[in-house]
């Protein structure tokens, strides 16, 4: 069995999910969103994300991590800030000796819906079919589940 932590990094909202896979079986375990207080200084928000992911790793003991690759926004500053949040999450996973696998947003969409430009509603509908016990409350949480599921489906040949 593998336990995957899926992460949708963000400076304001970092979605996370935990799923178990064994052969062709996928089981939803948990998911949520890390919400650093916006009034915190930038470096403290990064620490909040780091600590949140570290705690998830210690509590759920995932064996692998899947995380979304950053797409380049029109605003370079936004991309850079998102990269910092992503780095905080990856570092938290790395100190727990968990291998990290990266997926581009279009590959996640294609893996779940067959279309690389699927919208959030299409992703959500596929998640409800593939993991009926998962009921994400936010798009960030939904994306984190999709990222974990993409890794589960991509890595099934490595078991």
Q: Residue 54 corresponds to which tokens in the numbers above?
A: 């570290």
Per-residue confidence band for 157, with pLDDT thresholds at 50, 70 and 90: very low
User: Across the chain, what does the average pLDDT equal?
Assistant: 91
Residue 159 clears pLDDT 60, i.e. is over it: no
Mean pLDDT of 2-28: 95
Task: State yes or no: is 140 an active-site residue.
Answer: yes
- State the catalytic residue, choosing from 8, 20, 64, 143: 8
Q: Determine which one of 20, 64, 140, 141 is catalytic.
A: 140
Q: Is position 68 annotated as part of the catalytic site?
A: yes
Residue 8 known to be catalytic:
yes
Q: Select from 131, 129, 106 the least CA-distant residue to 119.
A: 106
The residues spanned by each domain of the chain are: 2-158
Is it true that domain 2-158 has CATH number 3.30.420.10? Answer: yes
Tell me the whole-structure pTM to 2 decimals.
Answer: 0.93
Cα 98 off chain centre by:
14
Q: Is the pLDDT of residue 125 over 70?
A: yes
Q: What is the pLDDT of residue 116?
A: 76
Say which range, 14-18, 88-92, 117-121, has the weakest mean pLDDT. 117-121
Among residues 64, 68, 141, 143, the one annotated as catalytic is 68
Digit-coded pLDDT (tens) for 24-79? 899 999 999 999 999 999 999 999 999 999 999 999 999 999 999 976 667 778 78
Look at residue 158 and tell me whether its pLDDT is greater than 50. Answer: no
């Amino acid at each position: 069995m593998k336990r995957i932590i899926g992460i949708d990094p963000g400076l304001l909202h970092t979605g996370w999910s935990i799923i178990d896979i064994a052969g062709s079986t996928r089981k939803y375990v948990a998911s949520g969103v890390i919400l650093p207080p916006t009034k915190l200084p930038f470096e403290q928000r990064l620490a909040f994300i780091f600590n949140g992911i570290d705690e998830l790793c210690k509590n759920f003991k995932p064996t692998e991590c899947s995380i979304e690759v950053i797409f380049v926004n029109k605003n370079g500053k936004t991309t850079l800030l998102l990269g910092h949040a992503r780095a905080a999450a990856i570092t938290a996973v790395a100190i727990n000796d968990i291998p990290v696998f990266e997926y581009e947003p279009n590959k996640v969409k294609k893996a779940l819906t067959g279309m690389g430009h699927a919208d959030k509603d299409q992703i959500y509908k596929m998640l409800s079919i593939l993991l009926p016990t998962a009921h994400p409350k936010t798009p960030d949480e939904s994306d984190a589940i999709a990222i974990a599921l993409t890794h589960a489906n991509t890595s099934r040949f490595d078991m």
